Amino acid sequence: MSCQNRANFLLINGYMKKKKHTASQKKVAEVMHEFKVGDLHSGNTDTIVTNPKQAIAIALSEADELGKPKNKS
């Protein structure tokens, strides 16, 4: 039995739970995809991000903003 078939067997028969992604994980993946394609911009400027460490910092800060409540003022 291959690894993929075994995983499907275990998942279907209730031995494993399917992994769920949080909103912050999806946001990080979205930002990193923008970086790989070359569409990630730094702030409101037209400067394209070329440093992977800077892209990770942007992704984490945007993901952190998802969990914070918005001010209603």
Nearest CA among 40, 60, 59 for reference residue 50: 40
CA 30, CA 28: separation in Å to the nearest integer?
Answer: 5
Percent of the chain with pLDDT strictly greater than 90: 37
Question: Rounded to whole angstroms, how far apart are CA atoms 34 and 50?
Answer: 11
CA-to-CA dists, residue 50 to 3, 30, 55, angstroms: 37, 16, 8
Q: What is the pLDDT of residue 15?
A: 64
pTM above 0.85, yes or no: no
User: What is the predicted pLDDT for the residue at 16?
Assistant: 63
- Short-list 63, 38, 60, CA closest to 50: 38
Is the pLDDT at 31 greater than 90? The verdict is yes
